Amino acid sequence: MAEPALDWQAGTVTAIRPETRQTKNFTLALPKWMAHRPGMHYDVRLTAPDGYQTERSYSVASAPERVGTIDLTVERIEDGEVSPYLHDVVATGDQVEVRGPIGGYFVWEVTMGGPLLLIGGGSGVVPLMAMLRHRAAQHATIPARILYSSRTADDVIYRSELDALAASDRAFEPFFTFTRQAPPGWAGYQRRIDATMLSEVIRPFGAHARVYVCGPTLLVEAVANALVQMELPIDQIRTERFGPTGV
């Protein structure tokens, strides 16, 4: 049976928070709010005075337990049609047309169990963060790890929140790798995600891991291929590709 069509609605921007130099988090109050599943997204539509319309999809960053509003964390793409407008024009109190929540494949909920391994590159961390926030809101003790690839330390979205989660939850551990410049004194990973890195991070979970991979196409394909080579069951791997961003 087909899903009912979702209507466009005008969400009111109630808060804008910079996350990194290139990303901002937009909190939208929705008149027709409905709970999403962590990993789902919303379409955002802009309409020009001459009637020209364009739209883009953005993952929900917030947990479904927060009622009435959603967070969309948006990376500014220089030649984009939607993200520069959101970053440079939209202000608190403005309205933005959205439709959602959309998706059902790249989702994880506490009831699905674990252990949970999240692998992200750049802004691909956004839907993964919704999963972690949902896990925290449910006070779940499911073992979870995230492996997050960024160009530099300044490009890590949600860094302070990830560190705080790790400090308060012994069952969660974040791993970071920097592909361009690591912070001073950094003793962790300093390269693109590869099979050796994956084998080290997944080791405590073994073949039981539920893995979600999100980021640029090349990263997602490389990680998925490596996981298959490691003989992780294919039905335990979920992937979602974003546009070309460097990590």
* pLDDT, tens digit, 9 for 90 and up, residues 94-142: 999 999 999 999 999 999 999 999 999 999 999 999 999 999 999 999 9
Same domain? 183 vs 132:
yes
Give the model's pLDDT for residue 70.
Answer: 98
**Encoded amino acid at 115, one letter:** P
Six token digits for residue 10? 């005008």
Same domain? 214 vs 160:
yes
The model's confidence at residue 3, banded by pLDDT at 50, 70 and 90, is: low
How far apart are alpha carbons 16 and 113 in whole angstroms?
33
* pLDDT, tens digit, 9 for 90 and up, residues 182-207: 999 999 999 999 999 999 999 999 99
Q: Which of 45, 80, 102 is the last residue of a domain?
A: 102
Same domain? 77 vs 52:
yes
How far apart are alpha carbons 42 and 116 in whole angstroms?
24
Same domain? 75 vs 118:
no
Domain count, the chain: 2
Same domain? 143 vs 64:
no
Query: Is 3 contained in some domain?
Result: no
Same domain? 114 vs 232:
yes
Q: What CATH number corresponds to the domain at position 231?
A: 3.40.50.80
Same domain? 68 vs 139:
no
Six token digits for residue 183? 């912070």
Q: What CATH number corresponds to the domain at position 13?
A: 2.40.30.10
Same domain? 130 vs 229:
yes
Q: Which of 102, 126, 151 is the last residue of a domain?
A: 102
Same domain? 76 vs 159:
no
Give the model's pLDDT for residue 62.
Answer: 98
Query: Is 2 contained in some domain?
Result: no
Query: Is 153 contained in some domain?
Result: yes
Same domain? 59 vs 119:
no
- Domain residues for the domain of 93 are 9-102
User: 3-state DSSP helix/strand/coil percent for the chain, to nearest 5?
Assistant: 25, 35, 40
Q: What stretch of H or E contains 181?
A: strand 172-181
In 120-211, alpha helices (H)? 125-137, 159-168, 195-202
* pLDDT, tens digit, 9 for 90 and up, residues 209-246: 999 999 999 999 999 999 999 999 999 999 998 754 44
Q: Which of 102, 126, 152 is the last residue of a domain?
A: 102
Give the model's pLDDT for residue 242.
Answer: 74
